Amino acid sequence: MKYRLAGMVLLIGVLITLNLLPAGAAPKPHDAQVEWEISFNYKTPQPIMVKIPGKDKPQLFWYLTFRVANLTGKDRMFVPQFVLYTKTGQMIKAGEGVNPIVFSTIKKMHNAPLMQNMVNITGKLLQGDDNAKHGVAIFKDFDPKAATFDIFVTGLSGEIATIKLPKPIIITEIDPNGKKTTIKKDKIQLSKTLDLKYTFGIEPKNRAHSKLKLLSQGWVMR
């Protein structure tokens, strides 16, 4: 069973707030690579307006195209997860609330027949640059008041860390059948995660023509 992704992104912060985890206790990724890592190349997120069937007006979405290659010397299971988190507290998982027609529109616009959505790109990633895969993470539009936001990408590294909690906590997990289950946890497992931080700078009147700026990128444990 797996944590709900949104909960995993903020879990450490919540535990510190509740005094269940001392500030500074959250682990940091190693400076040097200690586990396998998937080669990950990406483009700056772009806005796109798409007419969704049944909607009166085109809807705004954001998408990030990427390429992954397995140069680790061994076949790996690639299970990517992309989460967009705004400074106003909104959290959006890639693909959440996104009509399939959005992916089809992006694929056609980029003339990229090998581009895969988040579902199809998940699975075994064979060794070698020749077996690289091209994907796209798509997000529904987010809070217009958010001048900056982060995109967290997990599934790129084998580095994990387990934290034992001072006090057990009650959390909700989703089982393989999609059912919610409430259980008690006395420890949590975090994964090495890529954090991409972006800003709009001066917010344009028309978000559909926004140009984002990368503020920073780095590894965190989430």
pLDDT tens, residue by residue, 76-120: 999 999 999 998 999 999 999 999 999 999 999 999 999 999 999
Can you give the pLDDT at residue 145? 87
The predicted pLDDT at position 182 comes to 85
At 140, is the pLDDT very low, low, confident or very high (cuts 50, 70, 90)?
very high
Exposure string for 58-91, b = 16+ CB within 10 A, e = fewer: ebbbbbbbbbbbbeeeeebebebbbbbbbeeeeb
Q: Is the pLDDT of residue 16 over 70?
A: no
Q: How much is the pLDDT for 112?
A: 97
Q: Is the pLDDT of residue 23 over 60?
A: no
Sign of the alpha-carbon dihedral angle for 6, 12, 90, 159? negative
- For residue 22, the model assigns a pLDDT of 52
Q: What is the mean pLDDT of the chain?
A: 86
pLDDT of residue 204: 58
Split at pLDDT 50, 70, 90, the class of 158 is very high
Give me the pLDDT at residue 11, please: 54
Decide if pLDDT at 6 tops 70. no
Confidence check: pLDDT of 206 > 90: no
- What does residue 9 show for φ and ψ, rounded to 5 degrees? -65, -35
Confidence tier at 205 by pLDDT (50, 70, 90)? low
> Given this model, what pLDDT does residue 111 score?
97
Q: Which helix (H) or strand (E) holds 14?
A: helix 5-17
- Average pLDDT for 142-156: 94
CA distance 96 to 200: 22
With tokens 């809807």, the residue in question is 59
Give the mean pLDDT of 53-81: 96
Q: Output the pLDDT for position 203.
A: 61
Q: Is the pLDDT of residue 42 over 70?
A: yes
22 vs 3: which has the higher pLDDT: 22
At residue 192, the pLDDT reads: 94
CA distances from 144 to 95, 204, 206 (A): 19, 10, 11
Q: Are 80 and 155 in contact (CB under 8 A)?
A: yes
CB 4 within 8 A of CB 173: yes
